[in-house]
């Protein structure tokens, strides 16, 4: 099974996924793709000797060049691991059912455009939620509306703040995102 990771930021999930699969002979991380040349995710890939690809927002929307890079790898799964741009319809139709995303809330709550990272956690806290969590879902043409694959929850207390919620979510991501990806690759 060949998977690609798409990321825009520091790459903590990319690093964790790479580490999870480094001894798995059945899954190859064929490349780490980013829309930011200075993304930390690319450094994690380089350290693990995984090919990296940087593309512009225009190339994502034009997709022909990006398709060529991806098709050369004959990918089974594309994992959005901290990738913040909306995936174009043409891209989704080309890889339908093969693109998944991690969202740091229990969708459908606190999803949509602009809802990522601390923005999500602040909204959760403002709503006085009793729990939060992560959602791993398929990607469709709308932000955070694809079919849910799995959700993992954590309780919230009155003493929780932005930092404590971020830590709880990071722990869920580290624990469950790679395992869920592995389960999907076993089904493909």
Look at residue 116 and give its three-state secondary structure. coil
103 a catalytic residue:
yes
pLDDT for the residue 34: 96
Q: β-pairing, 77-80 with 2-7?
A: parallel
pTM: 0.94
pLDDT tens by residue, the chain, 188 residues = 999 999 999 999 999 999 999 999 999 999 999 999 999 999 999 999 999 999 988 888 777 777 777 777 788 999 999 998 899 888 898 888 999 999 999 999 999 999 999 999 999 999 999 999 999 999 999 999 999 999 999 999 999 999 999 999 999 999 999 999 999 999 87
Cα–Cα distance between 105 and 31 in angstroms, integer? 27
pLDDT at 62: 77
- Nearest residue to 178 (alpha-carbon basis) of 6, 9, 13, 54: 13
Mapping DSSP to helix (H, G, I), strand (E, B) and coil, where does residue 31 land?
Answer: strand
Contact in structure between 142 and 111 (CB atoms under 8 Å): no
Q: What angle do CA 107, 179, 161 make, to 5 degrees?
A: 45
What's the total number of domains in the chain? 1
CATH code, 120:
3.40.50.170
The closest alpha carbon to 77, from 59, 91, 96, belongs to 96
Q: How much is the pLDDT for 118?
A: 96
Confidence at residue 66, expressed as pLDDT on a 0 to 100 scale: 76
Check 44, 103, 121, 137 and give the catalytic one. 103
CB-based burial label for 2 (10 Å; 0-12, 13-18, 19+): middle
37: how many CB neighbours lie within 10 A of its CB?
10
Helix (H) or strand (E) holding 100: strand 99-103
Q: How many CA atoms lie within 13 A of 169 on its CB side?
A: 27
- Give the C-alpha separation, 128 to 85, whole Å: 28
Query: What's the 3-state SS for 35-84?
Result: CCCCCHHHHHHHHCCCCEEECCHHHHHHCHHHHHHHHCCCCCEEEECCCC
pLDDT at position 126, please? 97
What residues make up the domain containing 138?
2-187
């Amino acid at each position: 099974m060949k998977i690609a990771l798409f990321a825009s930021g520091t790459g903590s999930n990319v690093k964790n996924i790479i580490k999870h699969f480094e001894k798995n002979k059945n899954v190859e991380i064929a490349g780490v793709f980013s829309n930011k040349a200075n993304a930390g995710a690319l450094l994690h890939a380089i350290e693990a000797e995984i090919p990296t690809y940087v593309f512009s927002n225009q190339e994502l929307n034009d997709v022909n060049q990006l398709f060529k890079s991806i098709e050369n790898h004959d990918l089974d799964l594309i994992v959005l691991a901290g990738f913040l741009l909306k995936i174009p319809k043409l891209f989704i139709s080309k890889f339908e059912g093969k693109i998944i995303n991690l969202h740091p809330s229990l969708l459908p709550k606190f999803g949509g455009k602009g809802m990522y990272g601390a923005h999500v956690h602040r909204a959760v806290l403002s709503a006085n939620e009793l729990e939060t969590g992560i959602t791993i879902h398929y990607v469709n043409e709308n932000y955070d509306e694809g079919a849910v694959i799995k959700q993992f929850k954590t309780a919230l207390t009155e003493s929780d703040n932005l930092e404590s919620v971020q830590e709880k979510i990071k722990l869920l991501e580290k624990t469950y995102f790679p395992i869920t990806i592995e389960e999907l690759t076993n089904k493909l």
